[in-house]
Amino acid sequence: MGDKETIVVIGAGVVGLSTALQIQQHLTASQSILIVAREFPNTTSINYTSPWAGAHYRPSPGTSAQAIREADQCRRTYDRFKRIAAEEPASSIKFLEGIEHLEAPPPEYLDATSRKVAYGHLERYRELSRDELPEGVKWGTRYWSWTLNSPVYCAHLLRKFILKGGQTKEYTVTNLLEAFELASNVKTVVNCSGTGFNDPKSFIIRGQTCLVRNPCSVTLTRQLADGSWSFCIPRPLDGGTVIGGTKQPHNWDPIPSPETRAQLLENASKWFLFTPESGGKFDVIRDIVGRRPAREGGMRIEVEKVGKDSNKTIVHAYGAGGRGFELSWGVAEDVTLLMLENRLLHARASL
């Protein structure tokens, strides 16, 4: 590599891979890029969240600064996914109808302004009339959403990164300063580690889902009267259907709970669109447990100067929680823009 400057991206989850690809478009001849990660898409680990994800787009209305920022990042990711789906069938991204049925809609769903921020960009969006709602449902909507096969999509991103000249290194980073020593002439480290490094605002949210063979032609989310959520997400390219799901903050249990599986399937069986040959029963492939890397207040996306005379830069991009895929390209664009503004990259015509 000689004296080439190496930009190091920590983490090969969906945010790390997307960000590395976005940065790659702006590299000069004197720069190279290296992804350093504990796990890559060919491995499975409970702490490597992306390949476990159900991975579909369901907007999340709200009026907080975090909700508005995330809605913008989701919109840009939606637009990028439309292009990728059209141009790269191997990505596994598929656009299909998304349906939501809420039995006890929170106030932000009933507020026209927060709904517009979250749902306004969606194609084919319409709210359901009262006579279209199933029994017990108070609010519902249909729109054009996307889903993808998460392990296939992550492998697709990594393959593109390598074909464009990117390097990879399997290594467990324990301190961010370590990353500056993992290649020659590292001045910038991009921290897409998911949970950050000892950030007191970071925490994990345990999620348990169930992968079944039953096909489904839509992504359908049902909020129950007690506030819990039940959903089905078809995985394109013959990946089955994900039935979910739980959100358990600070729960480190790695073992799937049989009781949780039974509850998930029982909830979903009441509204799931079974095809005739399934006889109204789920055909289970396996249970899935993952740890969503969440952070109070949402993702940390900012620049930090470190080292002697502040001659080294860390760009933070972690804490997406359960929205890594939904936010991924918006975050990648925001990180790249920060790097351009701080002259860590140089503007080039986008490829």
Strand partners, 169: 36
Cβ contact 244:54 at 8 Å: yes
Query: What would the two tokens of residue 86 be?
Result: 């059209």
Cβ contact 20:6 at 8 Å: no
From residue 147, alpha-carbon distances to 6, 83, 162, 331 in Å are 34, 14, 24, 19
The verdict on whether residue 322 carries a ligand-binding annotation is: yes
Cβ neighbours of residue 247 closer than 8 Å, sequence gap 6 or more: 205, 206, 207, 229, 292, 322
Cβ neighbours of residue 282 closer than 8 Å, sequence gap 6 or more: 210, 212, 214, 243, 265, 268, 269, 272
135: nearest Cα among 100, 103, 104, 109: 103
Cβ contact 273:216 at 8 Å: yes
Cα(80)–Cα(57) distance, integer angstroms: 13
How many C-beta atoms surround the C-beta of residue 249 within 10 A?
11
How many C-beta atoms surround the C-beta of residue 261 within 10 A?
19
Cα(92)–Cα(52) distance, integer angstroms: 15
The verdict on whether residue 242 carries a ligand-binding annotation is: no
Provide the annotated binding site for D-dopa.
292, 322
Provide the annotated binding site for FAD.
49-50, 173
Provide the annotated binding site.
49-50, 173, 292, 322
